[in-house]
């Protein structure tokens, strides 16, 4: 019996106006991965852009929901049903304001903590028992700045270099997860000095 594939979801909003925003780091990670591995053009299915990839003998589907963030679960649920997966075969990559830029955390069975895209997935799957890569984007420097507005803004110019480093670390964490699983990924990426955080 063939092993089930892994569904890797990068969260973000479609449209050029959102491409470089903090809320779109999930898209940015998958775009970087597809580019580095020459995976070709993204195709469209179930309200998501997708490409297929094989890494270490494991079939992986990379998807970017095109429903806008708050309805991400619609596309994810359709793909989970199509591939006949358990939520545990799902790996969601998203921004996290509770971590500073440059920090990442691998998580499992964790609440959405106010992230609307993650909450949509939890609601449509009726489960939070899926894997996540939380990518820190920090909080607004000014207390009176709205967090929702903040994550829809592009990264500051001085953050660009750190962002590129963070994207590479995120890719490494994803590859580690595919190759060695959840427990090893959490041990490496949640305790090292390069990814420690709240």
d(CA 26, CA 64): 8
pLDDT at 2: 61
The strand pairing partners of 92, in sequence order, are: 9, 132
Structural contact between residues 156 and 36, judged by C-beta atoms closer than 8 angstroms? no
Q: What is the pTM of this model?
A: 0.90
The whole-angstrom separation of Cα 27 and Cα 23 is 9
Give the per-residue pLDDT at 194.
Answer: 45
From the list 167, 164, 130, 124, the residue with the least C-alpha distance to 29 is 167
DSSP state of 195: T
pLDDT of 178 strictly over 50: yes
pLDDT beyond 60 at 198: no
Q: Domains in the chain, ordered, with CATH?
A: 6-189 (3.40.50.1470)
- Residue 193: the pLDDT is 43
Active site residues: 23
Confidence of residue 114 (pLDDT cuts 50, 70, 90): confident
pLDDT digits over 25-39, tens only?
999 999 999 999 898
**Contact of 7 with 130, CB cutoff 8 Å:** no
- Concatenating the DSSP letter of every residue in 25-85 gives HHHHHHHHHHHHTT----EEETTEEEEEEEETTEEEEEEEE-S-GGGHHHHHHHHHHHHT-
């Amino acid at each position: 019996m063939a092993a089930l594939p892994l569904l890797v979801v990068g969260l973000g909003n479609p449209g050029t106006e959102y491409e470089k925003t903090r809320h779109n780091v999930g898209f940015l990670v998958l775009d970087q991965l597809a580019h580095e591995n020459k995976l070709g053009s993204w195709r469209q299915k179930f309200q998501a852009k997708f490409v297929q990839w094989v890494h270490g003998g494991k079939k992986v589907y990379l998807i970017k929901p095109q429903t806008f963030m708050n309805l991400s679960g619609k596309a994810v649920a359709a793909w989970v049903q199509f591939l006949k997966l358990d939520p545990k075969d799902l790996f969601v990559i998203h921004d996290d304001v509770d971590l500073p830029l440059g920090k990442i955390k691998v998580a499992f069975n964790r609440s959405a903590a106010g992230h609307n895209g993650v909450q949509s997935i939890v609601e449509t799957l009726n489960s939070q028992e899926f894997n996540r890569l939380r990518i820190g984007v920090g909080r607004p420097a000014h207390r009176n700045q709205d967090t929702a507005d903040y994550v829809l803004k592009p990264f500051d110019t001085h953050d660009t270099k750190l962002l590129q480093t963070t994207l590479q670390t995120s890719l490494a964490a994803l590859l580690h997860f595919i190759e060695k699983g959840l427990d090893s990924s959490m041990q490496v990426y949640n305790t090292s000095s390069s990814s420690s955080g709240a």
